[in-house]
Structure 1
Amino acid sequence: MPGKEEKPKEGQRRPQLAASLQQGQSPSNWKEKPLLSIASKESVSHPGSSSPLDVPQRKDASLPLPLSPNTLAVATPFKNLLLDGWDQPVDNDGDKPVEEQDQVLPAAKIPSVTSLSAVNQIPHDHRCAALTSDICEMLLGGLPYQDCMSTVAAFILEREVAGSQSSCGETYELVALGTGDVCYEGWMEFDGRTLHDMHGLVVARRALMRYFYKQLLMFCSNDPAAVEKCIFCLTKDGTRLVLKPRFFLHLYLSRRPSGALENLSIMTSQQKMPLELYVSMKGTLRPIAYCRPSTLAACVCCVSGSDKLTRWTVLGVQGALLSHIIHPVYITSIVLADAYQDSAILHQVVNARLQLAEESLPEPYRQSPVHLFEGPSVTSLNVPPKGHPWSLNWCGGDEVLELVNGAVGKAARDFMNPDGPCRPSRICKAAMLKSFRKVAKEMKRGDIASVATYHEAKVQAEAYQNVKQQVYAQLSLQDFGKWSQKRLVDIFAS
């Protein structure tokens, strides 16, 4: 594990960064704060990587004030292309699609797409924190769920603006967020309409996939303006879509993910770190090796957030279904606001725990190290959790937040009465399958549009499944435990 690099003298540019600038590979000027964990030179300058190459340090570490309203740019949504309404699964007791949230917040307060133009003097980690804080406050308005923000996770897209005449060479756009700290404690459900894992990180990632589906519908719209705004473009061979050049995906976390990171917070890098896989089961986090197979097969067991971050460094965040259509989307950086003892531990768990041979991975998969930052905990997010079972989700284009009651794994129809009638969440597996079929049909992909079940759609993504099995085999080979898989929960048709 290399140590932190010395701060360059004023006006001095590092050779690596200078070379990348000459090649036109330089990401934007978010690289203004030292990494908590610096990867090796080889991994940092990996050809074709979407990750920034180097990070010069800066003296400024002051916490910015909340963003003023005029720093937020609201774009007009493509209403006819959004998934809202038709993408909801149907109620178990009827054939009609579930209605949208009964209590709708004033649309003027909820931007469909909100982006923050980067300001030169604000470092990357502060931008992510400030944007997350402002969007959460705008979405919540006067709703009594401010304490939910203590477990927020937010995905932020950075876009470099080529040829920009201003000092702001990029925009930051919050595209998905999730909150929560609970797993469903009932019996396992097999219809795809119940959320099992409602930790903020997992919820935000599901909201991000929902956002990807919306972007894919924009690409299929034959509207030049929509295609131009879409974050995806065709690959050179025209067989898949890929994240456009100069786009980078960042993750802001207000708290340490569950699992190894959570349990290693009091350790130092000099101690031997137990890096085994963890699962949450019936409100308890435990090493997967200590769980009986019969228990894992019958109970709702959610693999920890730390382990999922490790998996995403190889598989990407798009999941199996979307991998039929797009190339892997990797996280460029993580901004973690929760304090911890040693930055080397975070690097070890996220980037170095999985030791796969790079040559064993089929294109376009690779092991993509994540750049790690210690970020500020914004006041509005620094609220102690109250142990309630509520979870919130939102993605770009959604007009309102969705409130999920973790006790039942379904969305509340009424914000003011979360224990009242519920409906399947818009980010449940059944909703994802419906979105997948819609996009496949629009893209004239008959080979996948008619898949019978969610499970069939997953297993037909052969390259993704191949890489996933390599990840699981390597974790088992390193004695970290056997990844808990729930094949039966995916065998549903609609």
Structure 2
Amino acid sequence: MADADEIARLCYARLEALPRRGRPEAGREWTLLAAVLQLRRCAASVKTEVVSLGTGTKCIGQTHMSPNGDVLNDSHAEVIARRGCIRYLLQQLHGAVSGDDSSVFCPSEEQGKWRLQPGVSFLFFTSHTPCGDASIIPMTDSPSQPCPPVASVKSRQGTEAGGDLKRKSEDPSEGPHTKLARVDKQETAETRTEDRGDTKTSFPSNSCKSEGQAQSHATETPEETVPDIHRTGAKCVPGGAADPLQPGTGYHSTGVLRVKPGRGEPTLSLSCTDKLSRWAVLGFQGALLSHYLQEALYFSTVVVGKCPYSKEAMHRALVTRCSHVTDLPAGFSVSPPGLLQSSLEFRFSQAQTELQHQATQGRVSPCGAAISWCNVTEQPIDVTANGYKHGVTKKVVGTAKSRSLLCKLELFHSFLSLVSATEPSARPGSLRRTELQTYWDYKQASSSYQQAWQQLHSQAFPLWPRSDRNLLLFH
């Protein structure tokens, strides 16, 4: 079993070794961190290294999504880390098919397919409980919750508790030459509430909010005290159960799919809890890499940093919801990760940022930038904001200069480069069709992955929104 504190140390140290560009301003800005680690077991030892790391808290609204695949829709740390890992795996496969060395893959029995080398596995780390269902947890006085819950609060007229401060999206700034990555330091209270994805809430002076989540409060009456929970700003997907919005533990429905809150408009990004749950059945490699892999790739363990945490809620959100899925094609299985928590807190967490905050710094706010680092030879660092490269101006939007290396278009081009580097006779059978042209075509041609997704969709997630085909027809 992995050492949770050692995993956290490796991830925090990896961020500290990177250039400062895109990092939060100490004492004023906070962010979340996630990472993918590769484990290699040799005899009695285990070598553990970070192969992808991401920070970020935002996602774009649905009206800003691009049919060209050149905008990064979801910049939550968990998504950034996973997409950076895809870059790493693409490079490893490129080396394998070219006859060079690969530290990850070896040939499988099936022609054109590859599998993990013996002893190689992957682990996922996140500095905070992922947004969505896993964040709906009871408030306790446990050491894993660094901000003690408020025992009772008299009801306040005109306010309501709740909201997940962890996630938000940001609209691109206006003006033809305005930097898209700008983050205004002065914002109105109304904008602040929308940006954080929570409802307006008043807090007593001696209370604090846990990283990424507003503390909701128990309602005390002379007769009883209603137990309370941490709330998530992620909204139930349309067509299913809605949140009852009752006091205390009756505020949320649990076990349901949720979309991340946007800033003034809805998003189409499913919560990180839902995505982790999906990866536990379909693998984290995605449809394109599935062409080359004999078996899907699963995270053996998910480690969470010090924060409000409930193993029961994590198990409900990441394991129970998909445990009954059956009839998956060869190479796919229900593979729930082990669950661990570290005692080490991220220094850029919201709670730590508030402790370091000085009155002269203005309000504490989420960092507008997202950092990606992955273990590749060319351009390992990618810093973005608002779905584009950090600091670009509007006049270059639509060109390669504005694109994140993690956007769909860039990853698709990297995949096509892998296909070109593979001898035609050594390509998987699914890639020998001549009619494959668009991103959509290549995804749909990954038939085993699509069969697995259909089983997961019909048996566990029937309300999961399907991507608009018109957003996937780029070349």
User: What TM-score, normalized by structure 2, do the two folds share?
Assistant: 0.65
Q: Which runs of 5+ in 1 are unaligned?
A: 1-30, 32-122, 269-278
1:276 aligned residue: none
Q: Deviations over 1:372-403 (max 9, x none)?
A: 00113345344447223211111102555221
Provide the rounded CA distance (Å) in 2 between the counterparts of 1:472 and 1:133.
Answer: 35
Q: Tell me which amino acid in the other structure corresponds to 2:313.
A: I
Q: 1:332 offset after TM fit, Å?
A: 0.3
Task: Please state if 1:153 is matched with 2:153.
Answer: no
Structure 2 counterparts to residues 311-350 of structure 1, below 5 A: 311-326=278-293, 327-340=295-308, 342-350=310-318
Alignment coverage as a number of residue pairs? 342
2:183 aligned residue: none
1:214 aligned residue: 91
Q: Tell me which amino acid in the other structure corresponds to 2:286.
A: G
Provide the rounded CA distance (Å) in 2 between the counterparts of 1:411 and 1:485.
Answer: 24
Q: 1:193 offset after TM fit, Å?
A: 0.3
Equivalent residue for 2:385, pick from 405, 414, 434: 405
Q: 1:211 offset after TM fit, Å?
A: 0.6
SS of the residue 1:353 aligns to: helix
Task: Please state if 1:369 is matched with 2:336.
Answer: yes
Native 8 Å contact 1:188 1:299 kept in 2: no
Provide the rounded CA distance (Å) in 2 between the counterparts of 1:267 and 1:238.
Answer: 54
Provide the rounded CA distance (Å) in 1 between the counterparts of 2:133 and 2:236.
Answer: 9
Q: Deviations over 1:104-135 (max 9, x none)?
A: xxxxxxxxxxxxxxxxxxx6111211111111
Task: Please state if 1:181 is matched with 2:57.
Answer: yes
Task: Please state if 1:236 is matched with 2:109.
Answer: yes
Asked which structure has the greater RCO (Cα within 8 Å, sep 6+), the reply is: 2
1:431 aligned residue: 410
For residues 380 and 341 of structure 1, do their structure 2 counterparts lie closer, same or farther at Cα, with a shift above 3 Å needed?
closer
Q: Deviations over 1:385-444 (max 9, x none)?
A: 7223211111102555221012xx111257xx9999861011111111111111112123
Over the residues paired in the alignment, what is the CA RMSD in angstroms? 3.2
Identity score, percent? 24
Provide the rounded CA distance (Å) in 1 between the counterparts of 2:94 and 2:307.
Answer: 40
Provide the rounded CA distance (Å) in 2 between the counterparts of 1:146 and 1:250.
Answer: 29
Task: Please state if 1:252 is matched with 2:232.
Answer: no
2:465 aligned residue: 483
Provide the rounded CA distance (Å) in 2 between the counterparts of 1:401 and 1:149.
Answer: 20
Structure 2 counterparts to residues 100-139 of structure 1, below 5 A: 124-139=3-18
Provide the rounded CA distance (Å) in 2 between the counterparts of 1:468 and 1:261.
Answer: 22
Q: 1:187 offset after TM fit, Å?
A: 2.8
Q: 1:465 offset after TM fit, Å?
A: 0.6
Q: Which runs of 5+ in 2 are unaligned?
A: 142-166, 170-193, 198-233, 243-258, 354-363
For residues 386 and 265 of structure 1, do their structure 2 counterparts lie closer, same or farther at Cα, with a shift above 3 Å needed?
farther
For residues 144 and 457 of structure 1, do their structure 2 counterparts lie closer, same or farther at Cα, with a shift above 3 Å needed?
closer
Provide the rounded CA distance (Å) in 1 between the counterparts of 2:4 and 2:383.
Answer: 28
SS of the residue 1:364 aligns to: coil
For residues 265 and 405 of structure 1, do their structure 2 counterparts lie closer, same or farther at Cα, with a shift above 3 Å needed?
farther
SS of the residue 1:376 aligns to: coil
Provide the rounded CA distance (Å) in 2 between the counterparts of 1:405 and 1:324.
Answer: 31
Decide which moves more: 424-433 or 299-308. 299-308
1:204 aligned residue: 81
Provide the rounded CA distance (Å) in 2 between the counterparts of 1:394 and 1:449.
Answer: 35
SS of the residue 1:237 aligns to: coil
Q: 1:469 offset after TM fit, Å?
A: 1.3
